[in-house]
Amino acid sequence: MAFTSQRGLRRFAAIPAVASLLLAAACSSEEAAATPGVTSAPCPGSAHTDRGCIYLGVLSDLENGPFSALGTSMHEGQLAFWNRVNEAGGIGGYDVDITSYTRNTSQDPRMHRAEYEAIEPHVLALAMSFGTSQTIATLNRMDADDMVATAATQWSGWNYRSVDHNLVLSAGYSYCTEAVTGLDWFAEHHYAPRDIAVVANRGNYGSDYAAGASKWAAANEATIVARIDTGPNGEVGNQDGPVREILAAAPELVLLATGPAETAEIVGKLVGSGFTGRFLGSVPTWNAALLKTPAAPALTALYNYMTPVDDWTGGSIGAKHAREATTGEPANFGYSLGWAISYPLKALLTAAAENGDLTRPGLRRGAENLAPDGEGMVAIHPAGADAPDLSREWSAVFEPDAQAPMGARAVEIGYRGATLGRLGLHEPCTRL
């Protein structure tokens, strides 16, 4: 399948909403039938003329947003994943297309919803819905449309069927449990922090992460001495305010749930002002491009970040398959993350095809009893459970290293801490 070029990604991401209607009409009149997104005609560009096509949508930050580097790399991982599926025989007599209805939403909830409405008539499901508030803004429409989506967001609410209405597939941990496990690892490998500051983006991402930090602190006799809301520099201008608050609070550890640009600014300015504590970041805080900023020495010396997936050079079956599916080293770890979060939807599509129910309601019903295999690359909660099985979760810990692939070295893969099992979590750490 010729879906994977970066030039093709830019071209499809730039197609305006109105053009999607023309493209859909050209593909097949079957898309207007009772099964949107499933046609007997081959996928565009497919060499498999004996197969039909399953169209999946992508709504992501691919350009001009605070996480566009991560979103683009995750999309490339998903492209490689589904190309491998197609090369291995497809699903139930169909290839899978995730390029025709790829749209850039620049991390804007209004744009996200508008682009959803434009592609909705033409796709069976969403291969990616990037961002927590962005997906939440679309959830009521998804509910009405029986639209299952893969979450490119780790909000804890996606692990509870009462919240996501059995529509949002996820893999790995939540931001909340990431903070809990990360602090356990930090206490074991650096020092047990007594005074902690949390700098977090406003919204469900930052709030969920900060809630996990607060739960860990309460369980481990620590104190959150500063809980600081911020946002992308495109919204707030700079991070001088958080830097001032941290210096005044003088914590031993700063937790970060921001974007990578804000991470570099906060770490660089704090260390330049004499701060001697360390930093621990959520998965979206890192990008290898930070090693080209003035903050690189401080980040290399004092910062770790967490991810829910195996290292690019890892030994899991999934990591091996992800490496084999591309040529050269990806731009950042988002490639592996995009690959890993695709396992649940593949399992769901496969089961629906086997049951002869490859429809939106069929996918939604099928998610109730889904137990996807992450090939050792990522921990996946049973999709139909009322609550997550926290005993399945593990984390990967990284530190910046200019000599390592994608600028970071895995310190530990598969880490499980002691605190998570003591918290008795039975609901999302933050609510809508």
28: pLDDT strictly greater than 80: no
Question: pLDDT band for position 2 (50/70/90)?
Answer: very low
- The pLDDT score that the predictor gives to residue 368 is 84
Model pLDDT for residues 418-428, shown as the tens digit of each residue: 999 999 898 99
Q: What's the predicted TM-score (pTM) here?
A: 0.89
**380 touches 374 (CB < 8 A):** yes
For the segment 7-15, the average pLDDT, to the nearest whole number, is 41
What are the residue ranges of helices labelled H in 43-96?
68-87
- The pLDDT score that the predictor gives to residue 10 is 41
24: pLDDT strictly greater than 70: no
355 vs 29, higher pLDDT: 355
User: Cα angle vertex 345, ends 340, 346, to 5°?
Assistant: 85
- The pLDDT score that the predictor gives to residue 350 is 97
- The pLDDT score that the predictor gives to residue 20 is 42
Model pLDDT for residues 131-164, shown as the tens digit of each residue: 999 999 999 999 999 999 998 999 999 988 888 8
- The pLDDT score that the predictor gives to residue 88 is 96
Q: Which of 223-227, 260-264, 330-334, 376-380 bottoms out in mean pLDDT, i.e. has the lowest?
A: 330-334
- The pLDDT score that the predictor gives to residue 432 is 66
Q: Name the nearest CA neighbour of 418 among 192, 204, 203.
A: 192
For the segment 6-21, the average pLDDT, to the nearest whole number, is 41
> Tokens standing for 241?
């305010």
Question: pLDDT band for position 371 (50/70/90)?
Answer: confident
Render 356-389 in DSSP notation, one character per residue: T--SHHHHHHHGGG-----TTTB----TT-SS--
Question: pLDDT band for position 383 (50/70/90)?
Answer: confident
Question: pLDDT band for position 388 (50/70/90)?
Answer: confident
**388 touches 176 (CB < 8 A):** no
d(CA 54, CA 229): 41
For residue 251, what are the contacts with CB-CB under 8 A and spacing of at least 6?
193, 195, 196, 197, 225, 226, 277
For the segment 235-259, the average pLDDT, to the nearest whole number, is 97
Model pLDDT for residues 389-406, shown as the tens digit of each residue: 899 999 999 999 999 999
Site of tokens 């995009």: 338
Mean pLDDT of the chain: 91
26: pLDDT strictly greater than 60: no
For the segment 92-96, the average pLDDT, to the nearest whole number, is 97
Question: pLDDT band for position 108 (50/70/90)?
Answer: very high
For residue 73, what are the contacts with CB-CB under 8 A and spacing of at least 6?
330, 331, 332, 333, 334, 335, 337, 338
d(CA 430, CA 383): 20
d(CA 293, CA 287): 11
- The pLDDT score that the predictor gives to residue 13 is 41
Q: Which of 29-33, 58-62, 243-247 bottoms out in mean pLDDT, i.e. has the lowest?
A: 29-33
Model pLDDT for residues 81-90, shown as the tens digit of each residue: 999 999 999 9
- The pLDDT score that the predictor gives to residue 34 is 53
For residue 352, what are the contacts with CB-CB under 8 A and spacing of at least 6?
92, 358, 359, 362, 363, 366
**SS3 assignment, position 201:** strand
